[in-house]
Chain A
Amino acid sequence: MFFEGHNGFVTVSYFITGAVMLFLILHTILRGRADKIRLKQLTKVMQADKT
């Protein structure tokens, strides 16, 4: 069992891997949302320009 023979190198490795993966996922989701909002706003401006 992992916790019986606690090893700092293993803990830090898994922590860093998790942190990098979480950062990648959150960055991708948040950038996607920001782009979606920006695209909606721009589409509205373009439509208002046409009318």
Chain B
Amino acid sequence: MEYSDQKPSQILTWMNRQGNPVRFIALADKLIPLVAVITSGLFMWGLYLSLFASPEDYQQGQTVRIMYIHVPAAWLAMQTYLFMAINGLGTLVWKHPIADVAAKAAAPIGAAFTLLALVTGALWGKPMWGTWWVWDARLTSVLILLLMYLGLINLRGMIDSQSQAAKLTAILTLAGIVIIPVIKFSVEWWSTLHQPASVLRAEGSAIDASMMWPLFIMALAYTALFTLLLLMRMKNEIRTRKILRLLSQLSQKES
């Protein structure tokens, strides 16, 4: 059988072309309205299913509806970190110019999703467990994830040199990736108050289809929102870097 490397090289060529900030902004300008429409549609559909069309839980009653906003927030909190780690690799190994822009743009979005997962989790925990917070492995590891997001944002803000900030945050992001399997498997490795995995597990989902569909649509809506915010923030970041370049050119001229 003849091996063809046609496709990967085409993908790499396309990726390198998008590395040009002007080309990326042109692509983002085309994609943003489309992603905005998809995000709005998915949220309307997801909220209808979550609040009106899905049944009450036989044990939790109406409170189960918190699941439709809590679980996608937790998934996106972890996925955003993985996305940042891949971009960190892109910065360190391939030195792709857009990779650092993407990692920087994604960090506040990831922090917001993590915060939402913690807050909605506490609001779900109080009526179900009788407490807002316990220092169990799942909750604590997600809190650590939030602190890591804040640390990464802070580290970048503390370094003046953009290339050095990119390199150091990429290294720290890659070092911190160990938190993702800890969060995922914390409910299996340790005895926790948090329930074990009920959707993404080897034996298949433990959730009924009437509750699985709203959860799936809300997860898609959250992912679409992440994509929309990421594209917009990356565009902003490219502009901010251009402003900084122009300002340094002006100050050099003046001096």
Q: Min CB distance, A30 to chain B, in Å?
A: 10
Q: Name the contact of A13 in the complex, choosing from B69, B108, B233, B246 (C-beta under 8 A).
A: B69
Structural contact, B120 and A31, CB atoms closer than 8 A: no
Contact A32 B62, CB 8 Å, known A5-B56, A24-B112, A42-B246: no
Q: B240 an interface residue at 8 Å Cβ cutoff?
A: yes
Q: Give residues of chain B (89-121) contacting chain A, Cβ–Cβ below 8 Å.
A: 108-109, 112, 115-116, 119-120
Structural contact, A13 and B249, CB atoms closer than 8 A: no
Q: B232 an interface residue at 8 Å Cβ cutoff?
A: yes
Structural contact, B65 and A2, CB atoms closer than 8 A: yes
Q: Min CB distance, A12 to chain B, in Å?
A: 6
Structural contact, A17 and B120, CB atoms closer than 8 A: yes
A contact residues, total (Cβ < 8 Å): 29
- CB neighbours (8 Å) of B69 from chain A are 13-14, 17
| Cβ contacts A to B, 10 pairs, < 8 Å | A5-B56, A7-B63, A9-B126, A10-B66, A12-B123, A21-B225, A32-B235, A35-B243, A36-B239, A46-B246
Give 5 nearest A-B pairs by CB, closest first: A7-B62, A35-B239, A2-B51, A42-B246, A5-B62
Binding site for A on B (CB under 8 A): 51-52, 56, 61-63, 65-66, 69-70, 73, 108-109, 112, 115-116, 119-120, 123-124, 126-127, 225, 229, 232-233, 235-236, 239-240, 242-243, 246-247, 249-250, 253
Binding site for B on A (CB under 8 A): 1-2, 5-7, 9-10, 12-14, 16-17, 20-21, 24-25, 28-29, 31-32, 35-36, 38-39, 42-43, 45-46, 49
Known: A2-B52, A7-B61, A45-B250. 18 other contacts (CB 8 A): A2-B62, A5-B61, A9-B66, A9-B127, A13-B66, A13-B69, A13-B120, A14-B69, A16-B116, A16-B119, A16-B120, A20-B112, A28-B229, A32-B236, A35-B239, A38-B243, A39-B242, A42-B246
